[in-house]
């Protein structure tokens, strides 16, 4: 089984679980992820103050349904967990359709689909169903049941850390709070976990921190509990919507010109893609990029949030995402890591005139190679722009050469004593 198939299998396995911003669904999701990469699990108690927020009560649900007068479940949580508004309080009642209607949510423009709705911070309840199902309902009465608990508990998140040779960190963050939504949630989790597997055992300059946390409140909680260490984050990316068949989209950090922004612009060149400027709306990049932190964290998706008709509906199922798309997302992330790892600033130690490369064996080592000319040009570009102000990514961008060729040239020149970091 290749990596794409493994990621798709993980999406299918996680899909039935009912996740929310707290609760056993998040815990079970992290348990499954931890089967492939070790996770350090944090449990933060209800009522804990985190920045301007407070950790909410924990929500868990066992069953929910609407039964018609004949006893048939016309809306059934056990068949699709999107049928219940997230964080619905317990309900046990008999109601007419007119009484029930204010608690029902549909998508009239997409009558076959069930929407995804939540009520995290208001103690309410509701059901989501297709417009077609609603249209077929009679006057009732209906037995209405939500078997849930909303009580003091914990918010749960997981971290996986791959130690590099230095203390500076690269942050990879994804949200784990959505129920059965394959692209907007699960594909990002699968890609992040597989990237961690690929980086395991490699000699790395940076330390890589993978954060699997509920959206918004989870990232805020992580930031609140790690204020003394966020200065170590040199680069970061929030990963979401990683498995649909659209082209990759990168959203710049708040800074707009952070190294991570430049890296993804370079990595995505040559393939269909979109680069967007930062906006304070979207996924958890808006928390990491809030002005008090202003971390160099961008966002990588395929089709962005709300940009595809399946978004936040029952159509975002495992068949909507593809192994090939997740593999492509993973490849872009891995290429970005390679650039981050090798990007350096050098200083030319022989800056007055062009140094003689032949007597140092640098031309001779290229003899007969079909790419000798481009490698020679890469060396000349590195020598010319290694003034302490330009990094290798600058040189690759200005020269139009592949980053790997520029980095290889720098390695050769450093080995010959012509440049130093």
pLDDT value for 370: 55
61: pLDDT strictly greater than 90:
yes
Averaged pLDDT for residues 28-47:
98
Averaged pLDDT for residues 279-302:
96
Is the model more confident about 293 or about 368?
293
Distance of CA 137 to the CA centre of its chain: 39
338-396, pLDDT tens digit by residue? 999 999 999 999 998 888 887 777 765 444 455 667 788 999 999 999 998 999 999 99
Architecture of 3-56+155-341 per CATH?
A: 3-Layer(aba) Sandwich (3.40)
**CB atoms inside a 10 Å sphere around CB 167:** 12
Averaged pLDDT for residues 14-36:
98
Averaged pLDDT for residues 88-109:
97
Averaged pLDDT for residues 80-108:
97
215: pLDDT strictly greater than 60:
yes
59 contacts 86 by C-beta, under 8 angstroms = yes
**CB atoms inside a 10 Å sphere around CB 389:** 9
Q: Is the dihedral of CA 189, 235, 374, 399 positive or negative?
A: positive
CA dist 121 and 52 (Å) reads 14
63-86, pLDDT tens digit by residue? 999 999 999 999 999 999 999 999
pTM, 2 dp:
0.94
Tokens of 216: 């918004």
CA dist 219 and 284 (Å) reads 6
Distance of CA 329 to the CA centre of its chain: 10
266-277, pLDDT tens digit by residue? 999 989 999 999
* Superfamily of 58-151 according to CATH: Domain of unknown function DUF2172 (3.50.30.90)
Is the model more confident about 289 or about 388?
289
pLDDT value for 1: 76
Sheet of 233-239: strand order equals 40-45, 154-162, 207-213, 169-175, 233-239, 297-301, 248-251, 273-276
Tokens of 181: 């939504």
Domain ranges of the chain: 3-56+155-341, 58-151, 345-420
Class of domain 345-420 (CATH, top level): mainly alpha
135-186, pLDDT tens digit by residue? 999 998 999 999 999 999 999 999 999 999 999 999 999 999 999 999 998 9
């Amino acid at each position: 089984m290749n990596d794409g198939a493994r990621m798709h299998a993980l999406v299918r396995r996680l899909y039935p679980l009912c996740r929310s911003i707290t609760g056993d669904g998040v815990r079970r999701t992290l348990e499954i992820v931890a089967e492939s990469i070790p996770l350090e699990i944090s449990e933060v108690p209800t009522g804990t103050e985190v920045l301007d927020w407070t950790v909410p009560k924990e929500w868990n649900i066992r069953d929910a349904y609407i039964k018609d007068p004949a006893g048939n479940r016309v809306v059934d949580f056990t068949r699709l967990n999107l049928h219940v508004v997230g964080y619905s309080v317990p309900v046990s009642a008999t109601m007419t359709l007119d009484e029930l209607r204010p608690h029902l949510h549909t998508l009239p423009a997409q009558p076959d689909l069930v929407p995804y709705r939540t009520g995290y911070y208001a103690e309410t309840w509701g059901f989501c169903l297709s417009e077609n199902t609603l249209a077929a309902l009679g006057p009732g009465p209906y037995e209405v049941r939500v078997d849930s608990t909303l009580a003091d508990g914990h918010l749960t998140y997981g971290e996986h850390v791959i130690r590099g040779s230095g203390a500076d960190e690269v942050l990879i963050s994804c949200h784990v709070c959505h129920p059965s939504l394959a692209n907007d949630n699960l594909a990002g989790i699968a890609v992040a976990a597989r990237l961690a597997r690929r980086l395991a055992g490699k000699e790395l300059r940076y330390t890589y921190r993978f954060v699997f946390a509920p959206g918004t409140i989870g990232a805020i909680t992580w930031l609140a509990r790690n204020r003394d260490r966020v200065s170590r984050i040199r680069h970061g990316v929030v990963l979401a919507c990683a498995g649909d068949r659209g082209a990759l989209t990168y959203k710049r950090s708040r800074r707009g010109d952070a190294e991570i922004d430049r890296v993804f612009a370079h990595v995505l060149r040559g393939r269909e893609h979109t680069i967007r400027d930062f906006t304070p709306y979207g996924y958890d990049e808006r928390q990491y990029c809030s002005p008090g932190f202003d971390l160099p964290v961008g966002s990588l998706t395929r089709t962005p949030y709300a940009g595809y008709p399946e978004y936040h509906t029952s159509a975002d199922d495992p068949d909507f995402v593809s192994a090939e798309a997740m593999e492509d997302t993973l490849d872009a992330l891995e290429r970005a890591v390679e650039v981050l790892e090798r990007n350096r600033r050098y200083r030319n130690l022989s800056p007055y005139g062009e140094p003689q490369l032949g007597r140092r064996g640098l031309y001779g080592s290229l003899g007969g190679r079909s790419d000798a000319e481009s490698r020679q040009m890469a060396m000349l570009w590195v020598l010319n722009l290694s003034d302490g102000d330009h990094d290798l990514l600058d040189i690759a961008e200005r020269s139009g050469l592949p980053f790997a060729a520029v980095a290889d040239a720098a390695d050769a020149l450093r080995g010959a004593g012509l440049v130093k970091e």
